[in-house]
Chain A
Amino acid sequence: MQDKITKVLKAIADPTRREIFHVLVVAATALPITQVADQFSISRQGITKHLKTLEKADLIIISSKGRERYCYANAKSLEVVTQWMKFYEKFWDTKLDNLDNYLNSKS
């Protein structure tokens, strides 16, 4: 589990990988790697490398069908990353309510 979080954070730290991932998310279906590569100005090898990093983080799944390799976004993996945000969203909401109550109780 801990190892997984590290991989997810590493994978989304790179802007190109975020873009690749975004393309797959928007596509909402499996895309051939060639089609993904067409949307970026970097080399096919570069794309493949990024895809492998995303795959290791479980953010995408790569499968072969005939001679073509397909990849698609895997939803579940992002949950670990959004935990922090969720926690502090709630944390600050609670605290600001407290502050409001506190100020009201003083006046």
Chain B
Amino acid sequence: MQPISCILILKFNQMKDVIIKEHIFNHSIDQVWKAISIGEEISNWFIPADFKAEKGYHYTFNSKGEDCSVITGEVKEASPYTLIYSWIVKDAPAETIVKWVLTPTSENTTKLYLEHSGISNYSGETAVAMFTSFDGGWNNCITKLTEYLMVNIHAG
């Protein structure tokens, strides 16, 4: 009983509404900003994107829908160096929010604060749709994309 409960406490405490990632890049804030806010750049490392960092722009990630799901959303804020957009996975009709904030830490190093929130908005039928979407190609999607990027980086 005891060990299981310990795991459970951990899980329960982690069951907050937010995923937070922080990362330091050895690049200038403008380089990082371009990489996360310009469609062509995003397509190079993240997901093939039709994206513009303009408030109200309806973006599409992975519009071809090959192997993995299409993601759409609306840009809520795009002012250097904060980028916020909604995140809607196709066939899982619920909305979460992705927020990127860049701050210069020293000359040519930049701190990224990434926040993905709103999971608790899922409820009822929507939650079901969201969870069943995991049975789709999402994991393949990530693996394939990573392979693709690795090949391209080494080729380039």
Contact = CB atoms under 8 A, between A and B. Distances in A.
A18 to B, nearest CB: 8
Q: Give the dominant DSSP class at A's interface.
A: helix
Contact of A28 (B1, B131, B132, B134): B1
A89 to B, nearest CB: 6
B75 to A, nearest CB: 18
Nearest to A80: B131
A55 to B, nearest CB: 16
B5 A75 contact: yes
A94 B7 contact: no
B25 interface: yes
Nearest to B130: A84
Contact of B132 (A2, A21, A96): A2
Contacts of A89: 19
Contact of B14 (A82, A100, A107): A82
A78 B23 CA distance: 29
Nearest to A106: B31
Given A25-B9, A88-B116, A102 B153 contact: yes
Interface residues of B, number: 47
Interface string A62-83: 0000000000010100101111
Interface residues of A, number: 42
Interface in A5-29: 5-6, 9-10, 12-13, 21-22, 25-26, 28-29
Interface of B: 1-2, 4-5, 7-9, 11-12, 14-15, 19, 21, 23, 25-27, 31-32, 35-36, 44-46, 112, 114, 116, 119-120, 122-125, 127-128, 130-132, 134, 138, 142, 145-146, 149-150, 153, 156
21 contacts: A2-B128, A2-B132, A9-B123, A9-B124, A12-B15, A13-B120, A21-B12, A25-B8, A25-B9, A28-B1, A28-B2, A75-B5, A75-B8, A84-B119, A92-B19, A96-B23, A98-B146, A99-B25, A100-B23, A103-B26, A103-B32
